[in-house]
Structure 1
């Protein structure tokens, strides 16, 4: 909980010479001007772990003595002003102090005054408070262009450090970076760089080339029995952690779903969960296809995706689906309409996300379906793995 620092006048004075604070830290006053609080090693998510300064100065020290001490300690950006009991009265910001002394007659006016004359009041937190509770309380100031400093106090109200909004932003950005790395590892475990299956009747390959962060592209195929397979390619709206969370949901539901109830039932249940969980803030376009390897029949549901193509007899054509289906997560009730087509020997069905066709070159031209068809035509006889590699390479060259 945040408080404005107020000196405690009536509390008993402790023994102050290199005294222990009662919590494992101690006060080092070997320097005649700058004292330093030496904390114990912090564990857990306490706010004290992000403190950027532990220096303090007694309220009897002169401005000139503090300025001289700071000149020799360039890494000290702020110091607390304390009384004899090390109870905080305010804060002196290094930059503000030297700006003040640099004004005309600044040193003449302040040099012999005590540091109390140049300190500013500062809000305070107990050093053991939770970082995320504190970050929520100061969140309005985290977006401001100016840096705000806060004082940390021991449980009995003595000085325990200073942290700033900059310290908080650095900590939160590091947490975010680590979370993104973890999310990326998890997503890569679900969305493989390559999956490949082959049999006497057909072959299928899937591939994902992730950006540096995490995103919402997802693909999977699952064998149901000797003849029947399920394929899906999805694209979650937006990027980042929220999008990767949705892909995790899709992957989790797919891994445990019993497809004896049919693809349509799976899509309806997936829509219900996404809509209820994200309340229309995230939606998913996707194609969900049931494939019978014996007959070549593909029954599919196109949920606002439409990046479905068939390469047949040297021509690339778009597979006609019911494009009036809305994406998943947009409406509470989703009653999808399906489409069907039959694969022939030599056919190649291609399901994509916009990350392939809408890649632009420096001139702003999209990669497009014609370039994709040209790659497939050129390498059709080389097999699916070669086609996949050449498509990714061609998209990379186009984008460069």
Structure 2
């Protein structure tokens, strides 16, 4: 993989990352970056600052399709610069990172962008060879999966793990882990209405808008209101997304959350008992503009586990047409005490799959686990 990095303070050079996976080509500004793209057709991605002399990052984004239409761009912007971030996304940027740069977040963002690019190129190259809709949906499914988090670093005091098993066609489930300022962590799980390629595209737009709003706003209720209005503005297909968004502050052990019509998460305690999070008022996003969302704060005790999920879990059916339901979800943790976040996630999937048996899955199954360690630093 080869990348070009536009930044006013960079001197021209190229080299490889510590693990030898990427080759970087540096440019001092947007004009030089375009010249580099013209000369080097092996570049896969542009990583650019917005503020540069001669040609800024937004102008660079507008010209990239003219010289290199088959690459992805990631923009670096000041924290909370929502106007420029939105402009960048409208100009075709795949994602963004904020200053001061968290290099772990930057690495994950680069890998997501390149994974998505590979899936896109595979879809483009194979489009003429596809002979059935199933094949095309399979490619779209891989594109959808490529933007979901796949790495979950170990944090002091807590663990996170998420996974999604797609149905036979592409759908609209997604989850995300968003690294915020002051060590806070944003946690989201969502389900887009309908299925198929339109739902997958709406899901990708929803996820991008959520991340953008979360980086610029502190309150979960403000984030949901912002995303709701942005989705409604360009929603000709009249789709919607249910979304649960929470922010965990490791310094206080508190979690603030707002719910846009989604399933309420389950809190599992150390003794195996569990409770459903108190509800908040709020309808699905993208239905009506100007919606207000309530927000609630809870304390996460040491040893508590929060299970975020979509209705693909509780509404999975068996051969007798019974639903898995909330009580069976609670029983998963009664019989399997939670020790690790990834084990808790796997226990949910194993229980649902065993319950469904040979019945074909009709909906995506998504589960995001947050666990506060029993020994808190």
TM range (shorter): 0.5 to 0.7
Please say if 1:251 is aligned against 2:207. yes
**Distance 1:197-1:336 versus aligned 2 partners, 3 A rule:** same
Residue equivalent to 2:183? 227
How far residue 385 of structure 1 moved from its aligned partner, in angstroms, is 1.4
Structure 1 distance, partners of 2:283, 2:336, is 35
TM-score (norm 2): 0.56
User: What's the CA shift for 1:252?
Assistant: 2.1
- On the 8 A contact 1:233/1:288 being kept in 2, the answer is yes
Give the Å deviation of 1:175: 6.7
**Structure 2 unaligned residues grouped into runs of 5+:** 1-127, 358-377
CA distance in 1 between counterparts of 2:129 and 2:266 reads 44
1:316 CA displacement = 1.4
Name the residue aligned to 1:213.
Answer: 169
- C-alpha separation in 1, matches of 2:237 and 2:293: 17
Counterparts of 1:100-139 in structure 2, within 5 Å, are none
The residue number in structure 2 matching 1:316 is 274
Who is 1:300 aligned against? 257
Counterpart-to-counterpart distance in 2, 1:361 and 1:176:
28
CA–CA distance in structure 2, aligned partners of residues 225 and 333 of structure 1: 27
| Partner of residue 334 from structure 1, selected from 291, 303, 322 | 291
User: Which of the numbers 343, 349, 355 marks the counterpart of 2:312?
Assistant: 355
Task: Provide the C-alpha distance between the structure 2 equivalents of 1:346 and 1:206, rounded to a whole number of angstroms.
Answer: 18
Contact kept, 8 Å, 1:300 with 1:339, in 2: the verdict is yes
Contact 2:267 2:274 in 1 (8 A): yes
C-alpha distance in 1 between matches for 2:302 and 2:353 = 31
Q: Distance in 2 between matches of 1:258 and 1:311?
A: 26
Note closer, same or farther for the CA distance 1:389–1:223 as it changes in structure 2 (3 Å cut): same
Answer whether contact 2:314 2:325 (CA < 8 A) is retained: yes
Relative CO higher for 1 or 2, CA cutoff 8 Å, sep ≥ 6? 2
Return the alpha-carbon distance in structure 1 between the equivalents of residues 268 and 214 of structure 2.
31
Comparing 232-241 with 180-189, greater Cα deviation is found at 180-189
Contact 1:237 1:282 in 2 (8 A): yes
Across the aligned residues of Structure 1 and Structure 2, the Cα RMSD in angstroms comes to: 2.3
Q: Deviations over 1:51-83 (max 9, x none)?
A: xxxxxxxxxxxxxxxxxxxxxxxxxxxxxxxxx
1:77-226 mapped onto 2 (5 Å cutoff): 174=131, 176-192=133-149, 194-226=150-182
Task: Structure 1: state its 5+ residue gaps.
Answer: 1-170
Larger of the two Rg values belongs to structure: 1
Residue 351 of structure 1 aligns to a residue in which SS? strand
* Pair 1:180–1:338, CA change in 2 (3 A): same
SS in 1 for 2:242: strand
Deviation at 1:379, TM superposition (A): 2.6
The alignment of Structure 1 onto Structure 2 pairs a total of residues equal to 228
Pick closer, same or farther for the CA change 1:328–1:361 going to 2, 3 Å: same
Normalised to the residue count of structure 1, the TM-score between the two structures is 0.53
Aligned-partner Cα distance in 2 for 1:325–1:255: 19
Q: Does the CA-based 8 Å contact 2:213-2:226 persist in structure 1?
A: no
User: Is the CA contact 2:266–2:275 (under 8 Å) kept in the aligned structure 1?
Assistant: yes
Q: Can you list the C-alpha shifts for 1:273-303, whole angstroms capped at 9, x where unaligned?
A: 2212224721111101111012111111100
